[in-house]
């Protein structure tokens, strides 16, 4: 039997809501990824060029340290779903740090995101590049922007998770 875990990062609660729906549909464990240095509302102000997230997202080599206590051991899992918002067209830099610190070898990875206006294309490239940088032997399914339960059902079927 395939065992699935849903990892998610959510600064406003939107991604968390969809991660909960996915975890319930798949009877999967769910783990919240947390930044070692938590974000404040000022950090998240994408209108401010000096805001923490603006600076992080524009630094192509940036990694935002994930709180190691929020990282699960993936040994018993076959499928890993990672959910995140999209910031400046890509996942928050914390997602790259997460991928750097969990062992995804032999896993099937399926990413999803929440966004008001982006597509998943740049995020897909970001995830795949980070997997390659870590030399993981991982199957990466096509990620998608999700808004509701209908989107979730269609995506899970399309990636053969349901």
Domain ranges of the chain: 4-158
**pLDDT in the model for residue 45:** 86
User: Cα–Cα distance between 111 and 159 in angstroms, integer?
Assistant: 10
At residue 48, the pLDDT reads: 86
Kindly report, residue by residue over 31-72, the tens digit of the pLDDT: 999 999 999 999 888 888 888 888 888 888 889 999 999 999
Q: Which residues of the chain have pLDDT under 70?
A: 1
Task: Name 4's bridge partners.
Answer: 79
**Architecture (CATH level 2) of domain 4-158:** 3-Layer(aba) Sandwich (3.40)
Q: Which pLDDT does position 103 carry in this prediction?
A: 96
Q: What is the pLDDT of residue 90?
A: 92
Whole-angstrom Cα distance, residue 15 to residue 4?
18
Q: How many CB atoms lie within 10 A of CB 160?
A: 11
pLDDT at 68: 95
pTM of the predicted model as reported, rounded to 2 decimal places: 0.94
Does residue 93 sit in helix, strand or coil? helix
Residues near 30 by beta carbon (within 8 Å), at least 6 away in sequence: 5, 6, 7, 8, 19, 20, 23
């Amino acid at each position: 039997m395939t065992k699935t875990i849903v990892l998610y990062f959510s600064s406003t609660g939107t991604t968390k809501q969809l991660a909960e729906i996915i975890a319930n549909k798949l009877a999967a464990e769910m783990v919240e990824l947390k930044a070692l240095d938590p974000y404040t509302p000022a950090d998240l102000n994408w209108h401010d060029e000096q805001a923490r997230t603006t600076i992080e997202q524009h630094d192509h080599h940036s990694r935002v340290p994930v709180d190691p206590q929020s990282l699960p051991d993936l040994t018993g899992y076959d499928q890993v779903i990672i959910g995140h918002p999209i910031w400046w067209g890509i996942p928050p830099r914390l997602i790259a740090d997460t991928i750097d610190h969990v062992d995804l070898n032999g896993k099937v990875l399926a990413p999803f995101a929440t966004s008001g206006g982006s597509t998943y294309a740049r995020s897909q490239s970001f995830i795949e590049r980070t997997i390659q940088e870590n030399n993981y032997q991982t199957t990466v399914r096509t990620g998608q922007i999700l808004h509701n339960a209908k989107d979730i059902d269609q995506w899970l079927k399309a990636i053969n998770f349901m």
